[in-house]
Amino acid sequence: MKKLIIILTIIAGGFGAKAQNALPKFTVTPSEIDALTENVTIVFDVTGSAVDGLTDVYIWAWAPGLSPSETLLVYDQGSPSWGSISQNAKLDPVPGDPKKFKLSLPKTVTRNGVQVTFNNVAELFGVGDTPGKIKEFGFLLRSQDGSKQTPGDGATKVTLLPLEFTPAYFRTFPAKVSNKDVVTVLLNLNLLESGENQKLKIAGDITVSVTLLKANGTEILSVENAATLFTSQKEYSYTFLPAMLGAFPAGTSLNDVAKCHVKFSGKVYSQAGAAETVQTKVFEFEFQQYN
Amino acid sequence: MKKIVYLLFITLVVFSCMPDEIPPIGEKTNYKPMLAGTWQLSKFEQIDAEAESKNFPEFATRKDLTNVFPGHPYSDFTITFKADGTFTSAKGNSYMQFMASGNWALDDEQYPSAIVLTSGSTSQKIALGSLADVIVGKVQFKEERKQPDTGKVKIKYVYSLTKK
């Protein structure tokens, strides 16, 4: 009988230990994020995990390949130390559910006496200017003193979508630009949209019309049917400097230029040789304010 | 006698372990005389800083603007830094926006990171790239366009110049 009790105790102990080793469940919203996605929330369900029952749960997260690899949340200055985790790493409780905690971005914290806001995962790991460096991050949940922790072997990790260039029917270079910068507009007819005149696919002599506008939509000046260049990426491009696009009407200046309309035109020829002009829709983009 | 040999041996070991004094490498480089002269723009590039940070392909990251405007090549631009601290620039047919003349100085004589151009009450600070190639007649100016609220660099311009 005694032996049986001992065996049952060992088995029960084993199950108990297993329960305490359970991985925390987590949900990332939105479900697919990259290093620059904003307004991200991660909800952790600690039921059955080593930190189940704690009122204060901390996150210890790291991104392979970075140095230091730990998130800036876990230390206020110097380098990360397991023994002295920052209060910034404390997860927020989910109201009404004591077993759930969350990490929401943007998150504003104080580091080394300075208030800092992390808008995305890249900024959480200090690579906001080089987000391409972070592909995934692993995490564990722990108590403040580190005596309790969920497995830290990478079993719980968030994989980020790669930051990839996406070809577009129309784009500008740079992607965001001010009215004082050199601007290149590009059209990719291989990505012709369904609502467009499909004859554009076979059009030649592609030209472009560019119009500069005030914030209220009033036209300031325009250039009609400027020649385009066909690039190695099979895009039709036109480069301009807003200040040099044309003569500004009296009473207007470059400072009034807030947005831009761009329309491409091409020619298709019938078998009889008659030319027909086909046009894209009007693309609009706004100029940024840069110093 | 044996003790003396030991003592000599220990002394020898101790002294041989002392760090060697690092000899002076040479005179500090004085870049100002090296920058004096006429420089012609050889390449003008525009970089989308955000695309660069995401490791986007080259065509979506940087664009060579040197000859992008027919009849208005940026390579027309020259700037002359005189030893007396004055400068003149000539944009030729290019759309280059630079002060035409005035005084020039380095922001730091020993470790320069920028050239400061002044003319009356107007001044223009031009960031310098690596100065390693100044000795072989090459220099880079850099300009950054920043988002005012965040201070984030959004667009970079790199002017590569060659000494005439």
Summary count for chain B: helices (H), strands (E): 3, 9
Whole-angstrom distance, CA of residue B130 vs CA of residue B138 = 10
Number of domains in chain B: 1
Q: Return the structure tokens found at A253.
A: 């200046």
Range of the domain at B48: 36-163
Q: Which whole number is the average pLDDT over A9-37?
A: 73
A244 contact B CB<8A: yes
Starting at the earlier edge strand, list the strands of the sheet with A183-187.
A170-173, A183-187, A236-240, A229-230
Give the pLDDT of residue A132: 84
Nearest Cα residue in chain B from A287: B147
As beta bridge partners, residue B164 has: none
The domain defined by A24-159 folds into: Immunoglobulin-like (2.60.40)
Of A233, A230, A240, A236, nearest in space to A265 by CA:
A236
Nearest CA in chain B to A163: B54
Q: Is residue B82 part of a domain?
A: yes
Closest C-alpha to A191, from A255, A290, A264:
A264
Position B4 confidence tier, pLDDT thresholds 50, 70, 90:
low
Q: How far apart are CA A46 and CA A150, in angstroms?
A: 9
| A55–chain B Cβ distance below 8 A for any pair | no
Residue B46 to residue A240: CA distance in whole angstroms: 13
Q: How far apart are CA A7 and CA A2, in angstroms?
A: 9
Average pLDDT, chain A: 91
Enumerate the residues of chain A whose CB falls inside 8 A of the CB of residue B54.
Answer: 36, 131-132, 163, 165
- Write the CATH number for B50: 2.40.128
CB atoms within 10 A of CB A17: 9
Check whether A47 has a pLDDT greater than 90: yes
Residue A261: CB atoms within 10 Å: 16
Alpha helix locations (H) across chain A?
Answer: 2-20, 121-124
Tokens coding A90: 């404390």
Q: Are A212 and A220 in contact (CB under 8 A)?
A: yes
What is the nearest CA distance from A281 to chain B, expressed in angstroms?
A: 23
Listed residue (A65, A81, A56) closest to A141, CA to CA: A56
Q: Which residue has the higher pLDDT, B133 or A259?
A: A259
Tell me: pLDDT of A10 over 80: no
Q: Mark yes or no for CB contact B154/A241 under 8 Å.
A: no
Q: How far is CA B92 from CA A59, A239, A240, in A?
A: 60, 20, 18
Q: What is the rounded average pLDDT of the residues A151-173?
A: 90
User: Could you say which of A129, A176, A239 has the minimum Cβ distance to residue B68?
Assistant: A239
Task: Give the one of A165, A180, A291 whose C-beta lies nearest to B60's C-beta.
Answer: A165
The fraction of chain A above a pLDDT of 90, given in percent, is 82
pLDDT tens across B107-149, in order? 998 889 999 999 999 998 899 988 888 889 999 999 999 989 8
Q: What does the domain layout of chain A look like in residue ranges? A: 24-159, 170-286
Percent of chain A residues past pLDDT 70, beyond the cut:
93
Contacts of A36 in chain B (CB under 8 A): 54
Residue A165, pLDDT > 50, answer yes
pLDDT at A110: 95
Cβ atoms of residues B141 and B113 within 8 Å: no
> How near does any CA of chain B get to the CA of A99, in Å?
37
- Is residue B19 domain-resident? no
Interchain proximity A291–B146, CB inside 8 Å: yes
pLDDT greater than 60 at residue A282: yes
A219-226 mean pLDDT: 96
Longest CA pairwise span in chain A (Å): 104
* Gap between the Cα atoms of A38 and A40, Å rounded: 6
Please report the pLDDT score of residue A15 as a whole number. Answer: 45
Nearest-5° Cα angle at A31, A25 to A37: 120
- Which pLDDT score, from 0 to 100, does residue A222 have? 96
Whether B104 is covered by a domain: the verdict is yes
- Tell which of A185, A240, A291 to mutate to test the B interface (max B CBs under 10 Å): A291
Nearest by CB to B59, which of A131, A163, A233? A233
Residue A87: HSE in the Cβ half-sphere, 13 Å Cα cutoff: 5
Q: What confidence category does residue A18 fall into, taking pLDDT thresholds of 50, 70 and 90?
A: very low
- What residue of B is the nearest CA neighbor of A171? B60
pLDDT in tens, A53-65: 999 999 999 999 9
Q: What is the pLDDT of residues B12-59, one digit of tens each?
A: 555 555 555 555 566 677 888 899 999 999 999 999 998 998 888 999
pLDDT of residue A16: 46
Give burial (CB, 10 Å; 0-12/13-18/19+) of A224. Answer: exposed
Whether residue A11 has pLDDT greater than 60 = no
Nearest to A285 by CA among A231, A213, A181: A213
Assign B136 to helix, strand or coil.
helix
